[in-house]
Structure formats: C-alpha cells, structure tokens
Amino acid sequence: MIAVIGAGPAGLAAAAMLERAGERVVVLERGELGEVWATRYDRLHLHTVRWLSCLPGFRMPRSFGKWPAKDRVAEYLRLYAAHHHLEVLTGVEVERLERENGSWVVRTQAGPMTVERVVIATGQSNVPFVPDWPGEFAGEVVHSADYRNPSPYRDRRVLVVGTGNSGAEISVDLVEGGASEVLLSVRTQPAIVRRDTLGVPSQLLGIASMHLPTAVVDRIAAGIRRIAIPDLAPYGLVAPARPYSEFQRRKVIPILDVGFVAAVRARRVRVVAALERFDGGAAVLADGSRVETDVVLAATGFRTGLEWLVGHLGVLDERGAPLVPDAVEPPGLPGLHFVGYDVTLGGTFRLVGREAKQLARAVAAART
C-alpha cells in the first residue's frame, strides 16, 4: 500500500500513475477534493494554457476555455480522480510520519496507518505566510489566501504587499471593484510578461528555457519585455536586467499580465516602497514615507508547512522545502517521496505530471 498525502494536482497525478503501474494507493486529503482551487479569489484563472495543463491520462475538457477559471480547475481535479477511480479519503489530517520496522506509519487524527511507501504532495502553497512586521497597525491585515473579491474593500484604501501574480491580480481586482486607492508595496522588482502574445502562450518560452543556456534565456526574456511591455520605470517598476537568472535565484514566477500593466500606467495602482513596519497605526515604508491605509493585504506567499510532518527526519531545507529533487528517495529513508515542490516556468500541472510518471517508473524499478 502507498499513501499519497494531498489531493491537489501533484497528489492525484502521482496516485494515478502509481495505480497504472500496478500499485495499490490511497490518497489522504485534509479538506475536500478540489477545495484549494475552489476557495481561492473569484477572479483567479489558470495562467498556463489548458492544452499544456493536463495531468497524465485525462485531458482537460475543451469547454473549460483557453485559460480555465479556478472553479473549472477544481472541477477538473474531481473529474480526474473519478476517471482514474482513485480512492481519496477527504477530511483526513495527517499529523506526522514515522519510520518503524521497515514501514511508514502515517499518523492521522483518525488513527495510524502503516504503509510501504509515502508520497508527500501537499504543495508549495500550503500555509499562508505573513511577515512579522514590527509595531502596531490600526487597520486590518488580510492574507491573499483569505481574499475572495473586492466587495469588502469598496471605498477603502488598500496597501497590497507583494509583487507575485496574486498581488498584481488582486491589485487590479481592487481597483475595478471600487477601492478608493490601491498601493502596491514592492521590495524586489518583478519580471513581467504577457500571458500570451499574438495567441502564443508565454508558457512555451518557459518550456524552451529548460533546454537553453541561462545567458541565452536572459537575453531573449529581456528582449521580449522591451518589445511587449512598456517602460514602467517612471511608475516605480524597473525591468530586471537578467530576468531568467533572477527566476533561478528566487524561484518566483513572473507576473503574467492580465490588466496589471495598464492599471499601473494609468496610476490606478500606485507603486510604493517595501513595507518595513507599523508606527502609530500607519505603515512605514523602506524609503521612510508613511502611509495611512485601511487595509494591508499581504500577498506574501506561502510556506510548505512540512516541518510538523517530516521536520524530524532531516529532509527539509531552511525554508521547509524538500532537500531531494523530484521523486528521489532521501538517503536512508526508502519509500519516502516528494512530488510537486519544484517551481518551473513551464507550468505546475505539466511539471507534476512528469514527476508523477518518474515516480511510477522508480517504484516499478524498485519492485524488480
């Protein structure tokens, strides 16, 4: 028996490919199937094109459109599990993994489960991260994971902190939804690309980048930005000189423009310095300026949250990410695998599909 922890794209793909290879698999999910996508903000769409975002063994329906909405993605995950007849146990919170007598003990709130192998696939976006800004803030601090739509923020001044895709897209959503002012706090200058150009998805360049030298991809990416994205330096956003090198260093996906550039150029979204602290109820920025705002919306990312699960096994780095790549077993811990923790420009769904196939081949090889 193999236990897969997490019923997101990585977990479902891993389970499907393992069962195809003849393994018996159970998937353990703390919430409901597809819940992670279904409960994100209303505006969210998959930023990778549908035909490059299918998990192995079952294609995403054409009726879902080129850029499927988040509810469609949640529906696809449910359809995928049903198509492969996967055994998914929902509402099961896994508390800890332990190695005992050559097997793995999966400890859950419902009791322990002893299995031969464990695949951890809870993903990068598992636990919302909010920096511990010093000082007291008089307003409201909300993480992007708890943002749904702009209705609660109408006629309010909002400081969005973070320049990933969530921060950029939520900023536009707030502007269009009637916020009185939207400020975007920037610490590290983001790369920005069109989601597609003349119908060609930028994801294709991301896939090609995996096979080209870094310096070549840097030149191509910088050239495309000069052509496709207007100069935003006068508005506070300076293009990185080596965008692909920055991605490799920080592992942050570029902003895929779906109205963000136009909002910045129209100064409907105003770029400000990084948030450093709170003082007297106001936000104090890195340049020393003070911002009176009603809401701080923290689009500050997530953590894996794996420390409580496997931190005692010595398999995580300082940020809580797995030390081993893809589906490779950590040294001295046979039967433990991680899937879905890499970050790629080629699309997460495409990547986890490849990793799931690699995992199934590795387990099959171990059998023989």
- Three-state SS for 283-336 is EEECCCCEECCCEEEECCCEECCCHHHHHHHCCECCCCCECCCCCCCCCCCCCE
Q: Could you report the per-residue pLDDT of 282-294, keeping only the tens digit for each? A: 999 999 999 999 9
CATH topology of domain 2-126+304-367: FAD/NAD(P)-binding domain (3.50.50)
pLDDT band at 336 (very low <50, low <70, confident <90, very high): very high
According to the model, what pLDDT value does residue 121 have?
96
pLDDT at 93 over 80: yes
Q: Could you report the per-residue pLDDT of 202-240, keeping only the tens digit for each? A: 888 888 888 889 999 999 889 988 889 999 999 999 999
Q: Could you report the per-residue pLDDT of 8-31, keeping only the tens digit for each? A: 999 999 999 999 999 999 999 999
pLDDT at 326 over 80: no
pLDDT at 79 over 90: yes
According to the model, what pLDDT value does residue 344 have?
87
In 3D space, the residue among 43, 99, 252 whose CA is nearest the CA of residue 164 turns out to be: 252
User: Can you tell me the distance from the alpha carbon of 327 to that of 15, in angstroms, rounded to the nearest whole number?
Assistant: 13
Q: Which residues contact 14 (CB under 8 A, 6 or more apart)?
A: 4, 119, 121, 327, 337, 339, 352, 355, 356, 359, 360
Q: Which residues contact 257 (CB under 8 A, 6 or more apart)?
A: 168, 192, 193, 194, 195, 229
pTM given for the model: 0.93
According to the model, what pLDDT value does residue 232 have?
96
Q: Could you report the per-residue pLDDT of 341-350, keeping only the tens digit for each? A: 998 888 999 9
User: Can you tell me the distance from the alpha carbon of 97 to that of 238, in angstroms, rounded to the nearest whole number?
Assistant: 45
Which of 116-125, 227-236, 257-266, 323-332 comes out lowest in average pLDDT?
323-332
Q: Looking at the chain, which residues constitute the CATH 3.50.50.60 domain(s)?
A: 2-126+304-367, 128-298
Q: Could you report the per-residue pLDDT of 111-124, keeping only the tens digit for each? A: 999 999 999 999 98
Architecture in CATH of 128-298: 3-Layer(bba) Sandwich (3.50)
Beta strand pairing status for 181-186 and 2-5? Answer: unpaired
What average pLDDT score do residues 283-308 get? Answer: 95
